[in-house]
Structure 1
Amino acid sequence: MLETSPKIEEVGIYNAKKAKEWKVQPSKTSKNCHNYIRSIVDTLNLEPNPEKNVIALSLGDPTIYGNLNPSKETTEAVQKALEATSYNGYGPCVGFESARKAVANYLSYDGVEFNPRDIILCSGCSSSLDLCISAVACSSRNDNILMPKPGFPIYRTLAESMGIGVKTYNLLPEKGWEIDLLHLESQIDQNTAVIILNNPSNPCGSVYDEDHLRAFLSIARRYQIPVIADEVYERIVFPHKKFVSTAALESGVPILICGGLAKRFLVPGWRIGWIAVHDPIDALSDIRTALLALSQKIIGCNTLIQGAIPSVLLETPQSFYEDIINFLLENAKMTYDALKKIPGLVPYMPDGALYMMVKVDLEKFPEFETGLQFITGLMEEESVFCLPGDCFQLPGFMRIVITVPTDLMIEACNRISDFCNKYYT
């Protein structure tokens, strides 16, 4: 006798019964993936003062208030790429040759020469970092990465999601957030796969000079550990400093440089980043192959913006960059001068990037046991939101952005002053 298929009604009853037994398990990668800023901020239960508008000094997005916008040449380049209709389809996983050539030319200065083969385009600088960490480290070897403390938590998020260990090396606030080189060296072990350098720094706003970078790279060379250099804030540097790329120092250290359009060109939402492979000793041939393979996971980045990159990088006038630097410097000076007059706070004047770190002397504010409580109180009473240093593994500090319109920055400093004077003892 031939077997007959179950009736649809019977299948429905069966599935309904079985549904209660289902338990689809999340992956280990997802369980290990933590956004450390969100995990801290979301637990603060922040409620602003309803009588005061919120001033967010927390967001690393320079476009948020509308006072900083991309250049006319940048937007026109995208319009031309759109009208050309040549960039609506898929592109190569590593990016169009024309776009990679433009990035190579843009990064070729101070004696450094890149070619298109050295460039891989990614979906934002965070994607560049993801590919680099994935290419050089793996959990099966019990690898770890070394990252700065304080440091941007995305490094930790990316590594730990893949089961890769994370160790930190200290930055020294009293020395302009220089690297504690002795501590860095003490953290290296046989499983250290790569050292991450962030210059200019988020969250510190520090910019390292050539001598300090050479000292850092000499350690990497001594232990034969490659470097991932997060240089997404490259050339956002105040006039008394100079940006020096690690690639320009002829250190003999293989370096994966991560950058993108987001910060200097004021277009973080366009999601264009890059990896530039600097390999003076030909140590990264297998890593190049790995990066090419990993680039196939995203099947290329935004092709429309790729079409615009040559014009963006070539035609943006120097005056555009200078105007941004001048605005950031004046805002930083004003903010620093205002905050250093406030009892219980110690601001650290940045040398570049978009941020300023401020130490909170909690002993002078006994109302608050932790920096998180201090940040919460500031939001609840004054509607000013700063990121707590805990987000960057440095409790007792807070990070503020200096991209906010000047009038709002002045208002925020006044409110912070009122709050601190109220609780300072």
Structure 2
Amino acid sequence: MENGGEATKWRFGAANPALEAAGRQSIRSIVSGLFDSLDKSDPRPVAPLGHGDPSAFACFRTAPAAEDAIATAALSGKHNCYSRAAGVEEARSAVAAHLSRELPYDVTAGDVVITAGCNHAIEIMMAVLAAPGANVLLPRPGYPLYESRAALCGLEFRHFDLLPDKAWEVDLDGVEALADENTVAMVIVNPNNPCGCVYSYHHLAKIAETARKLGILVISDEVYDHCAFGSKPFVPMGVFGEIAPVVTMGGISKRWMVPGWRLGWIVATDPCGVLREKKVIQSVIDYRAISVDPVTFVQGALPQIIANTDKAFFENAMDVMRKTAEICYQKLMDIECITCPHKPDGSMFVMVKLDLSSLDGIHDDVDFCSKLAREESVVICPGIGLGMKDWLRITFAVDPSLLEDGLERVKSFCKRHGKTKEVN
């Protein structure tokens, strides 16, 4: 465009490199790219084993009491206004009572901040901790949004390893080696996405002792709380809040199978009051005041969602999850090029290792997943997006028959691309 004979020099449009990098590493972006690789002419149903959204399947539909609570709240006319920065008071009180049942002390509404899902909680915590020079310790493999949000707000992150040969426990020696005087927090995810493990009481106690030794807080991502169906029960990290301060993050998306409702929380499970003394919770509220608000009628429905959901709903959901986890594990054991180091006993995922030496024409985990999507209409998340090159993350939060069919297609794909064994 010209103005008076001179071309206008527009001054906008320069890309934000940090945002571009974060976008490329997001699970949603990676999995969406694989869906673009699908052969649209394939008549078979797509087997979506790449991301954990069980709500798409009838066997994982949420509880009627939860749906009724949402409808009642929306139709009441009482929840059409803005909420306070920390959230609707009744919702905060309901979360506090909900968590207190499993802790050796009481959480109050003042310890709770309502968020627009657990992803929003991650955004808030990374921003709150991003003091000049600070660093945070993140698990590998891990949920990449932590890295993306830390990078976007200038918070340095360092990775400690989860150990596949020890049921994906935290490498606590590695945590101590990584930490320095600028380390402010470490993140754990329990039950674990992406590994499918559930941490024992003993291991969580050791995590708390390590955090105390280092003088850092523990951010415990418990969005999969009680999604445990193996021999280890779920233990909230807040049980150890007297040893080290714990910020618990959770929500209704996974346990109630409603990720689209976008309702989560950040809670100070810290009976010694260290987080209040250090103004961490006030900083969380201050950030919420300049951030997105969770939908008010979902907040308004939360007390009834928690109070009225029948115990049988959770039991039935875990029965199905236990069944699909077993299907997944047994099917994977029958695929030669894939190794599953630990049978999943929690969350909705399992991490497995690719043996590229037994495959012909497959360069890495991304190549494997791209070709699998195109040839078999099966979508699996490559491990590189979770910090583990040549690994795969598979979700079993899928209708059992479709899961079986999808993993049979993975087996066929691996056989078709398998190297021919030499005969002496």
Shared fold (TM-score, shorter chain, > 0.5):
yes
Q: What pairs up with 1:219-234 in 2 under 5 angstroms?
A: 219-234=210-225
**Could you tell me how far 1:55 is from its partner in structure 2?**
1.3
Q: Distance in 1 between matches of 2:398 and 2:327?
A: 12
**Could you tell me how far 1:114 is from its partner in structure 2?**
0.7
State the partner residue of 2:422.
none
**Is this contact kept in 1: 2:116–2:292, CA < 8 A?**
no
User: Higher mean Cα deviation, 257-266 or 188-197?
Assistant: 188-197
State the partner residue of 2:74.
82
Provide the identity percentage: 30
The amino acid of 2:106's aligned partner reads: E
State the partner residue of 1:180.
171
Q: Distance in 1 between matches of 2:209 and 2:105?
A: 19
Q: Structure 1 residues 166 and 261, CA, compared in 2 at 3 Å: closer, same or farther?
A: same
Matched, 1:20 2:12: no
Matched, 1:420 2:410: no
User: Higher mean Cα deviation, 60-69 or 217-226?
Assistant: 60-69
Q: Secondary structure at the match of 1:262?
A: coil
Q: Structure 2: where are the runs of 5+ without partners?
A: 420-424
Q: Give the counterpart of 2:382 among 382, 385, 388.
A: 388
**Is this contact kept in 2: 1:29–1:163, CA < 8 A?**
no
Q: Structure 1 residues 337 and 162, CA, compared in 2 at 3 Å: closer, same or farther?
A: same
Q: Structure 1 residues 80 and 363, CA, compared in 2 at 3 Å: closer, same or farther?
A: same
**Could you tell me how far 1:150 is from its partner in structure 2?**
0.1
Rg comparison, structure with higher value: 1
Cα deviation, 1:150-203, whole Å, max 9, x if unaligned, reads 000010011000111111000111111111111121111222121111111111
Q: Give the counterpart of 1:342 among 335, 342, 345.
A: 335
State the partner residue of 1:93.
85
Q: Structure 1 residues 321 and 221, CA, compared in 2 at 3 Å: closer, same or farther?
A: same
Q: Give the counterpart of 1:408 among 402, 409, 413.
A: 402
**Is this contact kept in 2: 1:81–1:307, CA < 8 A?**
yes
**Is this contact kept in 1: 2:2–2:8, CA < 8 A?**
no
Q: Give the counterpart of 2:370 among 376, 379, 396.
A: 376
Q: Structure 1: where are the runs of 5+ without partners?
A: 1-11
State the partner residue of 1:294.
287
**Could you tell me how far 1:247 is from its partner in structure 2?**
0.7
User: Higher mean Cα deviation, 89-98 or 58-67?
Assistant: 58-67
Q: Give the counterpart of 1:213 among 204, 218, 224.
A: 204
**Could you tell me how far 1:33 is from its partner in structure 2?**
4.0
**Is this contact kept in 2: 1:390–1:396, CA < 8 A?**
yes
Cα deviation, 1:261-285, whole Å, max 9, x if unaligned, reads 1100111111111011122332222
State the partner residue of 2:325.
332
TM-score for both structures, normalised by structure 2: 0.92
TM-score for both structures, normalised by structure 1: 0.92
**Is this contact kept in 2: 1:32–1:162, CA < 8 A?**
no
State the partner residue of 1:6.
none
Q: Distance in 1 between matches of 2:335 and 2:224?
A: 29
The amino acid of 2:321's aligned partner reads: L
Q: Secondary structure at the match of 1:333?
A: helix
**Is this contact kept in 2: 1:199–1:230, CA < 8 A?**
yes
Q: Structure 1 residues 343 and 49, CA, compared in 2 at 3 Å: closer, same or farther?
A: farther
Q: Distance in 2 between matches of 1:420 and 1:94?
A: 50
Q: Distance in 2 between matches of 1:356 and 1:154?
A: 18
Q: Distance in 2 between matches of 1:374 and 1:43?
A: 13
Q: Give the counterpart of 2:191 among 184, 191, 200.
A: 200
**Could you tell me how far 1:392 is from its partner in structure 2?**
0.3
Q: What do you get for the CA RMSD once the two structures are aligned?
A: 2.1
Q: Distance in 2 between matches of 1:42 and 1:322?
A: 32
User: Higher mean Cα deviation, 286-295 or 301-310?
Assistant: 286-295
**Is this contact kept in 1: 2:242–2:270, CA < 8 A?**
no
Q: Distance in 1 between matches of 2:30 and 2:82?
A: 38
